[in-house]
Amino acid sequence: MVQTNEAGEPILYREREGAIFIARMNRPERLNALGGGLPEALTEAWFEFKDDPSLKVMILTGVGDRAFCAGADLRRNNERAQELGAASAQALLDADRSARITPSIMSNNFHLYKPVIAALNGWTLAGGCEMAMGCDIRIIEAHAQIGLPEVKRGMGAKSTTHKLSFLTYLASGLELDWTGDPITAEHAVRLGLASEVVPTGTSLERAKELARQICDHPASYLTYHKERMFQSIGVPLATALATEQRYPPEEGEEYRAGLEAALASPVYTAGR
């Protein structure tokens, strides 16, 4: 059953363009906040992309020009707390979190080694920021701002500490967490929270352009490089190099085909 938003439209648009899988969060009336069935729909899309070998690159974005995702749906959470009582609502939330590990771009990727691109088309806050940091490449529009305002609500940004430590500078990451103030698109690029700034309304097209370029390469190489880079984080250089040697990419048929094509190309043979 397709979950819908308040306008009766699909809460998450899932589209395919060749080997590109596009997921567009569709709760613009709530700044694409994570509620109303959207987290569950994102999980379904996550598995659809992960388990389909014909899909190479995923693009995640939001509908509209106001927000990529503003994080948790605090209005709905408050309504739920009033219905149940704050203590009961928190107890249910804690029990749910302790009972299972949820597959999520925001908090873990369960060995998702395919490329994921975030097209940040507006406010990217709290859980939305965490989701963006879980992607591999972030394209941010000029008007967008990104940040972690949880501290202003007496809450912690629970899925960010390990990501901020290698996406940004240590001091900058702490400042983002401690102040809760969003930063501009240009500042986000300087810190490493985004890859590039594009004009308003063009992040999805730029993400598609980049995805098409990536799709030109063998799927095995895309997953190989992402997996090796993730495995190298936080380990000594010697260990990382040894891991690289254990899984050489030069042993597959795709490598042989690419090598033969390169050897026959005019660029390689010129002057030799």
Catalytic residue among 150, 244, 251, 254: 150
Contacts of 251 (CB under 8 A, 6+ apart): none
Q: Which of 130, 141, 175, 205 is catalytic?
A: 130
Are the CB atoms for 232 and 243 separated by under 8 Å? yes
Residue 86: how many other CB atoms lie within 10 Å = 11
Query: Are the beta carbons of 108 and 101 closer than 8 angstroms?
Result: yes
175 catalytic, yes or no?
Answer: no
The residue whose two tokens read 């939305």 is 128
β-pairing, 67-69 vs 20-25, is: unpaired
Which neighbouring-strand residues pair with 166? none
Return the beta strands (E) in 66-222 as ranges. 67-69, 116-120, 123-125, 137-141, 145-147, 183-184, 196-198
Is residue 254 annotated as part of the catalytic site, yes or no?
no
Q: Which helix (H) or strand (E) holds 22?
A: strand 20-25
Residues classed as catalytic? 130, 150
